[in-house]
């Protein structure tokens, strides 16, 4: 229990608070934590009494109050540091990586790159429970620094965090139907696609795609914007236009679609990293060392 000027907060209370937010409700949080719903409610109420104001807006949709949002950032950081502390102790006692590591990655990485790494980690770190969270490119570093996750596959971090390792590099390519007039070429000029409606995703790569158009000297004017890559691919398959995606997304394509290299070429770098501003979980360091031998180009 922590006592600062009369403020009494327990780790259990912080765990419950984070779980209620992440699981979007008291019942789901109780199931997640293997507690009764009454125990979850009592723990959160005790935390709110300690801080003196509500942290949760109770209703059909659970949400944090303004104070709750501020407390949530610190709660996540505390719990992430606790996971790292527990892993450090276990490593010294047993020599093995144990506990849980939360890993974040963008959908293209989590579909093609991360499964191979998970297989290697499972083989070499059998006592470690690695849980994958998918997010947009621009969410990953925020999740990492706030303690939502312990490690992440970051996209073009600038600068790369100390201790991070490059996993792979890929490039942006155009996705089109296999009956498109340019589908048989090895490489196409971006400028040659100006007559095709451009379908774009807002899920993270859009700034890179806009930069690619600027590099080519052509205007970036998407005809449609959607969030999910799968929706984007479905629209290309329906002959509604073409899309530009990282080459790692090629495994998502259907048999009626092809991916063609683009000129100019724009690469992105995928980097495995722990947080910048707090000590890494030692299990994340072990994962990093194993991943360092898995550099790939796509």
Give the tens place of pLDDT for each residue, 248-263: 999 899 999 999 999 9
Are 274 and 224 in the same domain? Answer: no
39-57: pLDDT as tens digits: 999 999 999 998 899 999 9
Are 196 and 256 in the same domain? Answer: yes
Measure Cα distances from 181 to 44, 98, 178, 188, 194 in Å: 61, 54, 8, 11, 14
**Would you say residue 122 has pLDDT above 90?**
yes
Q: Cα–Cα distance between 151 and 276 in angstroms, integer?
A: 10
Give the pLDDT score at 4: 46
Are 230 and 202 in the same domain? Answer: yes
Domain interval for residue 48 = 2-64
Are 259 and 187 in the same domain? Answer: yes
Number of compact structural domains in the chain: 3
Are 262 and 179 in the same domain? Answer: yes
Q: Cα–Cα distance between 162 and 164 in angstroms, integer?
A: 6
Are 15 and 140 in the same domain? Answer: no
The C-alpha torsion from 14 through 15 and 19 to 22, rounded to 10°, is: 70
CATH number for the domain including 183? 3.40.190.290
Give the pLDDT score at 210: 95
Beta-carbon contacts of residue 52 (< 8 Å; ≥ 6 apart): none
């Amino acid at each position: 229990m922590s006592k600062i000027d009369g403020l009494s907060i327990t780790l259990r209370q912080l765990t419950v608070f984070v779980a209620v937010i992440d699981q979007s409700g008291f019942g789901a949080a109780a199931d997640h934590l293997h507690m009764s719903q009454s125990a979850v409610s009592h723990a959160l109420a005790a935390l709110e009494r300690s801080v003196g104001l509500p942290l949760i807006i109770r209703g059909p949709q659970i949400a944090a109050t303004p104070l709750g949002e501020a407390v949530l950032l610190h709660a996540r950081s505390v719990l992430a540091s606790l996971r790292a502390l527990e892993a450090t102790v276990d490593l010294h006692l047993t020599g093995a990586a144990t506990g849980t590591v939360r890993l974040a990655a963008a959908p293209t990485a989590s579909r093609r790159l991360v499964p191979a790494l998970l297989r290697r980690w499972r083989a070499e770190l059998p006592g470690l429970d690695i849980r994958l969270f998918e997010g947009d490119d621009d969410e990953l570093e925020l999740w990492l620094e706030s303690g939502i996750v312990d490690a992440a596959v970051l996209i073009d971090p600038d600068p790369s965090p100390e201790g991070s390792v490059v996993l792979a590099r890929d490039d942006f390519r155009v996705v089109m139907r296999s009956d498109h007039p340019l589908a048989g070429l090895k490489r196409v000029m971006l400028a040659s696609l100006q007559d095709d409606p451009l379908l774009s995703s807002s899920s993270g790569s859009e700034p890179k795609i806009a930069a690619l158009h600027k590099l080519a000297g052509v205007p970036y004017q998407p005809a449609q914007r959607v969030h999910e890559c799968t929706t984007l691919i479905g629209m290309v398959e329906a002959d509604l236009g073409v899309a530009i995606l990282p080459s790692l997304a090629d495994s998502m394509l259907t048999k009626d679609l092809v991916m063609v290299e683009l000129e100019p070429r724009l690469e992105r770098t995928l980097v495995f990293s722990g947080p910048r501003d707090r000590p890494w979980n030692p299990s994340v360091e072990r994962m990093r060392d194993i991943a360092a031998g898995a550099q790939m180009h796509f």
